[in-house]
A and B are shown apart, each in its own frame.
Chain A
């Protein structure tokens, strides 16, 4: 019979009980004839038993609460939504605290609340539009679900504007926090990667209706208006004459039929 030579690997596998029965028998008979090697192998085996014994009690300890897997899974399900909101809220606070980053244009009075809405849209645009990882929380494929959710949270019917006729695809949306409660944000892009943000929320004046007004903050510009107590704004980094027809389209679609 052709006996393969015993290797150092065989000796370790013998100690770790990882050999096939046939090979194990071959190693055992080798060790019988080589007491010096057998002594070393026995020492390895003792070492192994001591290590296992020294660490054995750890597996019998009750698991601490923070290692409860069900809790970790639960926490994970809740987190993303909450974390996104917090980041937006913190950035809102952060940006609001920066002097000089103020609204320009026709909306300085703020009497009807549209200036706040325009500012919120600009903040949302600066936070989410440059985001390559997660610009939207709910993807376009779930837009019906998002509309439903936003309707529930805003307590007003929310429709997702369709801007495909203007060459803009819906990327998705998210709820964003404002000092007037939640607002629904929709994001769109075109084939060149230009992104647009539409932000809508109920106005404190439930009957507010205003004409469309241009607005700009820094390099983010767009239009803002109100209709039947809902405020709307469209912002982007495009010239006003490009945005105006898109805003008109949104206004037309948002009107109750």
Chain B
């Protein structure tokens, strides 16, 4: 169990981040991570060789998917996280915060399979092969989902990004 502690503990913050980004609710996300860790402890000796990181994300991802399906079956809406209402001093920091909130709410509009792949690859730095293992799909599927996720998020962001306003003005 000592090697498990050494290998798993440093990954917990990243697991929380992935769970939070998927669930958009702090308590629900942490519950999911706790479930994931309990499973990891009980199945530590059953894991196959390979990346512990990918193994943990696989457990977490499957738990999240199960939750989504149950939530959909119950017709419940995913709660939206307030992300903490702390005051931000500078205007620049405030603007940054608005951009961040915007990208997260746009991300939430993506289909679940596109959202997971984008988070695993672009935020959690999983290799394409590891992401494929987590999602249990071929690498080719990871690539096509990633491409669709990025295009769609770009479309969502269009029309509100400051850059676009400039483009529209320049057309006059």
Which residues of A does B touch, CB under 8 Å?
8-9, 12-13, 15-16, 18, 40, 43-44, 47-48, 50-55, 58-61, 63-64, 66-67, 69-70, 72-73, 76
Contacts and interface: CB of A to CB of B under 8 A. Distances in A.
Interface stretch (B6-14, B47-55, B60-68, B69-77): B6-14
Grouping DSSP codes into helix (H, G, I), strand (E, B) and loop, the B interface class, with mixed when no group exceeds half, is helix
Contacts of A70: 5
B135 interface: no
A47 B8 CA distance: 29
Interface string B92-106: 000010011101100
A10 to B, nearest CB: 10
Contacts of B20: 55, 58
A13 B121 CA distance: 10
B38 A76 contact: yes
Contacts of A69: 4-5, 8-9, 12, 37, 41
Contact of A54 (B1, B103, B154): B103
B158 to A, nearest CB: 9
Given A18-B128, A47-B153, A72-B37, 12 more contacts: A8-B147, A15-B122, A50-B103, A51-B118, A51-B123, A53-B96, A59-B13, A61-B13, A69-B12, A73-B1, A73-B4, A76-B41
Contacts of B147: 8, 12
Interface in B30-53: 30, 33-34, 37-38, 41-42
A63 B8 CA distance: 14
B37 A55 contact: no
Interface of B: 1, 4-5, 8-9, 12-14, 16-17, 20-21, 30, 33-34, 37-38, 41-42, 96, 99-101, 103-104, 107, 118-119, 121-123, 127-128, 143, 146-147, 150, 153-154, 157
A73 B128 CA distance: 31
Contacts of A15: 122, 150
A54 B9 contact: no
Contacts of B157: 47
11 contacts: A47-B122, A47-B157, A51-B118, A54-B103, A55-B20, A58-B13, A58-B16, A58-B17, A66-B34, A72-B41, A73-B5
B33 to A, nearest CB: 6
A74 to B, nearest CB: 9
Nearest to B128: A18
Contacts of A64: 30
A213 B66 CA distance: 54
Contacts of B38: 72, 76
